[in-house]
Amino acid sequence: MTIQAVLARIDQALPEATDRLLDLLRIPSISTDPAYQADCDRAADWLVADLQGLGFEASKRPTPGHPMVVAHYDGPEVAGTPHLLFYGHYDVQPVDPLSLWDRDPFDPQIENTPAGKVIRGRGASDDKGQLMTFLEACRAWRAEHGRLPCRLTIFLEGEEESGSPSLIPFMQENAEELRADVALICDTGLFQSQTPSIVTMLRGLLGEEVTIKAASKDLHSGMYGGLAMNPIRLLSQIIAGLHDDTGRITLPGFYDGVPELSDEMRAQWQGLAFDHARFLGDVGLSVPAGETDRTPLEMLWSRPTCEVNGIWGGYTGDGFKTVLPAEAHAKISFRLVGQQDPLAIREAFRAYVTAQLPPDCTAEFSAHGDSPAGQMSVENPAFEPARAALTEEWGTAAAYVGCGGSIPIAGYFKTYLDMDAMLIGFAKDDDQIHSPNEKYDLQSFQKGIRSWARVLDRLTTAKG
């Protein structure tokens, strides 16, 4: 079986692959800081040269910010063999405070730790180490077969850590060139640092700020208290009413478009044996706070939320002041799932607040973003073979998982290029991405490369 030969080559060539990664890590491509502009450029050049060496037609493409790297490989046109796009990013986070690093963040080294060898340096995990897993898989495949297995497009961004300002315009302007059958994104982690997974659900986000206005000026609570409405009391009542006793959100129509988990997905999530006591225990908590009839993983991944992120009003300085304030404020956000419509929920929230105001009080609202949830269709024929490949490599059943936060790039592929994306990554929870002493386990690097080789094999070899 030829995949074994590719895997053996990956294992045998790991030292050279590691050296190449160390080389890339030495380039301080901090995208947010203009002082590193030339370095970002240099990282893009490094990748263009590496991809050309792998047989790609690769180029650095200008944007108003840092360049994109786009590369194409015209593989064999075999019916049923997909055209794959791979996405990663070559820019990294700033490194300060430098004093908290045990070594120069851009002088990476292999370190021995009690948990095994790690590659230490900024970008080791996020995302240079991860993106190189795919390039190294291509290298080993090509060395073994003399060519790559299918048509491939590589798309590497240099602004991911600074808000991706050029990404959507670039996708729109180059949609024809970038469109493929499925996108592979390597910028996520193993579930609980050990189980390979494909992220298929990403929660959306809606943000609202509300100001309740009562009296025309701040009042003295001795003079007016009891007769005049306190807007903090009103706001507290309104906020308290957003959840019922079972943790359900009370806004009319809020659960429209919230899908139930399929039995298949429920079984996969049960198989993950999520230790919510440990997860909460790590942050000093123990009691799940979501809907009482839902499992902890559902609360995190497949159920919507309503959270108050900030609340203020009146006197909050040192000492005490018996003020009856004129205004009270709150910032409230909703994590959304499935087909929930952010704009309909915004309207429902505003109507709910307004309906509770006495005639002498008013509410003002300002919007802070609205992005729908992302749902990858696992019916795309690439998903099951990829999951099988991951299961095979890691020796533990890979799962489709959710992600409580948002990973905008996956949604962009869907929205702007009409492509499903598979988020597959090998980072661990303790990789300290964005923090001092970032690392990537050498084992993650090696098994990551092997995983991609297996994914390529499963997606491009007809299985009898």
Stretch that binds Zn ion, among 52-60, 120-128, 311-319, 375-383 (CB under 5 A): 120-128
Which amino acid is located at 11 in the chain?
Answer: D
Q: Does 431 bind Zn ion (CB under 5 A)?
A: no
CB of 191 to Zn ion, least distance (A): 17
Q: Which is nearer to Zn ion, 50 or 187 (CB)?
A: 187
Q: What's the one-letter identity of residue 406?
A: S
Torsional class of 151: left (φ above 0), alpha (ψ -120 to 50), beta (otherwise):
beta
Q: Measured from the CB atom, is 83 or 122 closer to Zn ion?
A: 122
Least CB distance to Zn ion at residue 407 (A): 9
Phi (first) and psi of residue 362, to 5 degrees: -135, 165
Assess contact for 304 and 249: CB atoms under 8 A: yes
Q: Tell me which stretch binds Zn ion (CB under 5 A): 10-18, 121-129, 222-230, 244-252.
A: 121-129
Whose Cβ is closer to Zn ion: residue 182's or residue 423's?
423
Report which secondary-structure segment, H or E, holds 2.
Answer: helix 2-12
CA distances, 53 to each of 19, 46, 300, 414 (Å): 16, 11, 43, 31
Closest contact distance (angstroms) between CB of 218 and Zn ion is: 46
C-beta closer to Zn ion: residue 130 or 295: 130
Which helix (H) or strand (E) segment holds residue 332: the answer is: strand 327-336
Binding residues for Zn ion restricted to 225-284, rule: CB under 5 A: none
**Binding track over 388-427 against Zn ion, x by CB under 5 A:** ----------------------------------------
Residues near Zn ion (CB under 5 A), total: 3
Q: From the CB of 81, what's the least distance to Zn ion, in Å?
A: 29
Q: Residue 273: is it exposed, middle or buried by C-beta count within 10 angstroms (0-12/13-18/19+)?
A: exposed
Stretch that binds Zn ion, among 104-112, 182-190, 326-334, 441-449 (CB under 5 A): 182-190
For 181-310, where are the alpha helices, taking DSSP H only?
221-224, 231-240, 263-271, 276-281, 296-301
> In sequence order, which residues have a C-beta less than 8 Å from that of residue 281 and are 6 or more positions away?
none
Q: Please give the structure tokens belonging to residue 248.
A: 């359900």
Tell me which residue of 166, 400, 90 sits closest to 272, measured CA to CA: 400
Site stretch for Zn ion (CB under 5 A), options 127-135, 191-199, 309-317, 434-442: 127-135
Shortest CB 91 distance to Zn ion, Å:
9
Cβ proximity to Zn ion: between 130 and 340 the closer is: 130
User: Residue 2, Cα to own-chain centre: how many angstroms?
Assistant: 34
Which member of 50, 91, 127, 157 binds Zn ion (CB under 5 A)?
127
Among 126, 159, 208, 420, binds Zn ion (CB under 5 A): 126
Nearer to Zn ion among residue 43 and residue 378 (C-beta): 43
Smallest gap from Cβ 186 to Zn ion, in A, equals 9
- The torsion angles phi and psi of 324, rounded to 5 degrees, stand at -115, 100
- Nearest-angstrom CA–CA distance, 275 and 273: 6
CB nearer to Zn ion: give 361 or 407: 407
Of 73, 319, 357, 334, nearest to 233 by C-alpha is 357
Which of 136, 144, 157, 187 binds Zn ion (CB under 5 A)? It is: 187
Nearer of residues 157 and 291 to Zn ion, judged by Cβ: 157
User: Which CB atom, from 159 or from 187, has the smaller least distance to Zn ion?
Assistant: 187
Q: What is the smallest separation between the CB atom of 190 and Zn ion, expressed in angstroms?
A: 15
To Zn ion, the closest distance from the beta carbon of 187 in angstroms equals: 4
- Cβ nearer to Zn ion, comparing 206 with 403: 403
Q: Which is nearer to Zn ion, 165 or 314 (CB)?
A: 165
Rounded to whole angstroms, the Cα distance separating 195 from 183 reads 21
Question: How far apart are CB 125 and Zn ion at their closest, in Å?
Answer: 8
By C-alpha distance, which of 172, 134, 135 is closest to 386? 134
The b/e string for 34-48 (b: 16+ C-beta within 10 A; e otherwise) is eebeebbbbbbebbb
- Please report how close the Cβ of residue 405 comes to Zn ion at its closest, in angstroms: 12
Contact 67, 165 (CB under 8 A): no
Backbone angles phi, psi at 339, to 5 degrees: -105, 20
Closest separation between CB of residue 111 and Zn ion, Å? 22
As a whole number of Å, the end-to-end CA separation of the chain is 13
Rounded distance between C-alpha atoms, residue 26 and residue 18, angstroms: 12
Q: Which residues bind Zn ion (CB under 5 A)?
A: 126-127, 187
